[in-house]
């Protein structure tokens, strides 16, 4: 079991490092003066990317796991609270089932903040949400931070990485 976890970590570690480097290359230009780009083109691409994220979350929340799978690249990695849940198929065939059930207990979702950055082929969407739902027989309020890495494909933006972290609100 430990060997399996170590092997999984060593297998995923290069992807985590590449993701960190990717994010740093996207954030760094935010502090530099950028050339003028057509606002409508940038906004349209950001709308497409955030729509891909929202469609994935809606599919997951409604238990439409095949639709959620199609919103992801085959090599997408899913991480929650520091734990690697797997690549696309491993996640959808495993932990996503429990996530879908848990999301059905959510009574309200409030988007507190969202930011996105897109390049020609890669981008990210970061959101913070407040969710109220039933857990362990009582209502609980949680703050959820989600980071989605996206890759532009021939069919549009696809999710290539997800990291969720949550904490009790208050």
Count of other CB atoms within 10 angstroms of residue 65: 17
pTM of the model: 0.74
Report d(CA 95, CA 77) in Å as an integer.
12
Burial of 150 from C-beta contacts in 10 A (0-12 / 13-18 / 19+): buried
* 163 within a domain of the structure (yes/no): yes
| CATH number of domain containing 157 | 3.10.450.50
pLDDT tens digit sequence for 55-76: 999 999 999 999 999 999 999 9
Q: Give the dihedral sign, CA 109/163/50/97.
A: negative
The verdict on residue 30 lying in a domain is: no
The boundaries of the domain holding residue 102 are 40-168
pLDDT of 30 > 60? The answer is: no
Number of domains in the chain: 1
* Inside any domain, residue 29: no
Tell me, yes or no, whether 16 lies in a domain: no
Of 11-15, 48-52, 157-161, minimum mean pLDDT range: 11-15
């Amino acid at each position: 079991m430990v060997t399996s976890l170590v092997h999984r970590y060593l297998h995923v570690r290069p992807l985590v490092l590449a993701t960190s480097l990717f994010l740093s290359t996207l954030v760094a230009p935010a502090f530099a003066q950028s050339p003028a780009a057509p606002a409508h083109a940038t906004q349209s691409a950001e709308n497409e990317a955030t729509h891909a994220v929202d469609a994935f979350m809606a599919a997951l929340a409604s238990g439409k796991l095949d639709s959620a799978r199609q919103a992801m690249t085959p090599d997408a990695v899913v991480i929650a609270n520091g734990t690697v849940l797997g690549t696309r198929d491993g996640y959808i065939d495993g932990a996503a089932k429990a996530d879908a059930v848990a999301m059905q207990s959510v009574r309200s979702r409030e988007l507190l903040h969202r930011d996105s950055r897109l390049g020609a082929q890669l981008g990210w969407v970061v959101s913070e949400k407040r969710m109220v739902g039933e857990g362990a027989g009582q209502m609980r309020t949680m703050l959820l931070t989600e980071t989605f890495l996206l890759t532009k494909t021939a069919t549009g933006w696809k999710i290539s990485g997800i990291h969720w972290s949550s904490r009790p609100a208050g």
